[in-house]
Amino acid sequence: MLARGLVAGIALVVALHCAAEVQVMGKIPLIPRKVLFSNPDKAAPQISPDGKQIAFVAPVRGVLNVWVAPANKPDQARVVTRDTRRGIHEFFWAYTSKHILYTQDENGDENWRVYAVDLSTDKTTDLTPIEKVHAEITGVSERRPGEIVVGLNDRNPEYHDLYLINIATGERKLMVTNPGFDGIMVDDDYKVRFAVQPTPDGGSELLKPKAGGDLSQMSGWEAGITISPEDALTTNPIGFTKDGKFVYAIDSRGRDTAALTKINAKTFETKLIWADPKADVDSVMIHPTLKTVQAVSSTYERRQWKVMDKAVAGDFAYLKTVADGDVEVSSRSQDDKWWTVTFVLDNGPVRYYLYDRAKKRAKFLFTNRKALDGLTLARTYPVVVKSRDGLNLVCYLTLPPGSEGKVAGRPAEPLPMILSVHGGPWARDEWGYSGFNQWLANRGYAVLQVNYRGSTGFGKAFVNAGNREWGGKMQDDLIDAVKWAETEKVADAGKVAIFGGSYGGYAALVGMTFTPTEFACGVDLVGISNLTTFMKTIPPYWAPALAMFKQRVGDMDTEEGRQFLLSRSPISRAGDIARPLLIGQGLHDPRVNKDESDQLVKAMQAKGIPVTYCLYTDEGHGFARPENNLSFFAITEAFLASHLGGRYQAIGNDFKGSSLEVLSGADQVPGLQDALGKTEQANK
């Protein structure tokens, strides 16, 4: 239980930390949170298929919308969407070059709808106007420019039937009724080619239609490829050759790291195209019309490109001279004369260019955050840490500017540190700019990101080493990385916080409950507290993947399995929490239900353990609205400063426009009660 003097001591800690911050940060000023977490100025430019226009997202009255401009006059952009609430975060060009397509949900419920904007009139059409339905775009092809294929679970919430939708009129035609598959794949002619069927052991089968078979029935399909459980997370088809006779796949069958392969669509004979022995293939550049592989990338510590087609070798050679950072070709015109190119740095904003291939000339478009120009930003260093059982853990260490010692990537003296745990867990951290890391480093903290076992990108053996190790060896990897940081004099032992979202939030709760004195404090954002209730409340369209969850997490359908899941659940040790905890939750989260936070808070309160619990009433799994991110990070900053001694920017008016409700523990965070009172008065 927390010491009774904790709350009284908070003010003293906040008063004392200012002296320590000057020693670490020198004269480097605080970067305002709004610079780091407000909407980007402009982002995600995409060239139209005909090469004549460019689209990007930028705010309108504080909300991200899509803008379109002539490709040669990007400064003449006009806004073409009218979102006023959550902002548009994902969009793309239709192959008509006359329409923009985007997806949007309501308050984070992930009941996605698909919208089309006619650029001749700026009229927006809801292509999937059905309540409480999760839409998935399944097919977009230059051969059918006026139509797209969309999966809708309107008939059965667990399975998506495929519909052909006319972009201009919104007319919707049923293509195939899903008889029980996790997904159905179409080719560039919108012909149904494959279906993915999970197997009871956690693997899957890639099925193909029988000649003359009824595709709405299981009997209308026949076996193609069996993907074992060990390959299930590292093997999947990604597209077809131009003639449709072969399918490209990211494929780990018969090897450890996932390679790029070419599979005969009839015989399923497989040919290796390229593989990296240290990391999975993570991006494939395919010619827009010829459908040939031109370049492949993989990421161990930093992204590396392998050029496969000499036709683009000169382009990649030139792009290396344009700007620093890791490069990505983000869009291409259909004639392949124009590319949009993104350069990602660790200590600066993302840089976007329009590249003219004929002239081998890249024209700078914009950065995503102009306010970062000229600021002193932190550097991020890849490091490889050994786990206690010998695994290589690729980590990223971000250090406060001015804190570096004589050895690159090491501070002159130990620092308070944030252990930042990525979600998924079947995902990974990568090198590059992070507003989150820059924020914490600017406040005087080292930030350590760990690709623990179970993370993707490092081969199937590494992924599968995380099976049934939630709260076990996956957590040990995090602790091992912290011990490394303490041994290397990076982290000040006793001043380490654990912070994560989703699975990372679960890991933060495990850290606070299973190792209650390891961390000075913890921050959980939409994290899981009870693995059994989590698996019982997943979205219905995740049901086909339950076999995979049972194999990799635990089986909730047996008594033995439920006991195992409970033993790995933070709720089982809520009474052991001994250090301060901050929780953030979205009311409409369909993945990690609000009850995950509620039950832990209730258990802590029953034991008299204080906890600060922040609820956002218009959010889901993570926060889309900048106002909500600003408010939660303002609270987090004060919370961390009071327990680790880092620098602190007052909350100020960072609650403005937020849906924040503090359900518990406002008195545990310096300045929070006053800020809530001022916000309440302003709203009146």
CA 272 to chain centre: 29
Beta bridge partners of 148: 140, 165
Around Cβ 262, how many Cβ atoms within 10 Å?
Answer: 17
CA distance 129 to 547: 32
DSSP state of 622: B
Give the active site residue among 315, 621, 642, 658. 621
DSSP 346: S
Distance in angstroms (rounded) separating the CA atoms of residues 498 and 417: 9
Residue 275, SS3 per DSSP? coil
From the candidates 502, 569, 572, 659, give the one annotated as an active-site residue. Answer: 502
CA distance 208 to 240: 14
**In whole angstroms, what is the distance from residue 215 CA to residue 107 CA?**
35
Rounded CA-CA distance 196/237 in Å is: 10
| Active site annotation includes 589 | yes
Are 295 and 316 a contacting pair, CB within 8 Å? yes
**382 and 301 in contact (C-beta within 8 Å)?**
yes
Return the closest-CA partner of residue 165 out of 130, 199, 203.
130
Scanning 212-320, the segments in alpha helix (DSSP H) are 313-319
Catalytic site includes residue 287: no
Token reading at 454: 């179970």
Say whether 308 sits in a helix, a strand or coil: coil
Q: CA-CA distance, 292 to 637, in Å (whole number)?
A: 49
- Nearest of 437, 430, 453, 348 to residue 399 by alpha carbon: 437
One-letter amino acid for residue 647 of the chain: R
Q: Which amino acid is at 227?
A: I
Pairing of strands 581-586, 521-525: parallel
Residues written for the chain: 684
CA 266, 197, 187 angle in degrees (round to 5)?
45
Beta-strand ranges (E) seen in 268-414 are 270-274, 281-286, 293-299, 303-307, 326-332, 338-344, 351-356, 361-367, 379-386, 392-399
| CA 625 remoteness from chain centre | 15
Other CB atoms within 10 A of residue 183 CB = 19
Looking at the DSSP bridge assignments, the partners of residue 103 are 114
* Residue 90, helix vs strand vs coil: coil
- Residue pair 576/513 in contact (Cβ under 8 Å)? The answer is yes
Q: For tokens 């409409």, what's the residue?
A: 588
Closest CA to 138 of 89, 100, 193: 193
φ and ψ at 57, to 5 degrees?
-105, 145
Q: Which residue, chain included where needed, has tokens 């070798």? A: 313
Residues 589, 654, 658, 659: which is the catalytic one?
Answer: 589
According to DSSP, residue 30 is labeled P
With beta carbons less than 8 A apart as the criterion, state whether 511 and 518 touch.
yes
SS3 152: strand
User: Active-site residues: which are they?
Assistant: 502, 589, 621
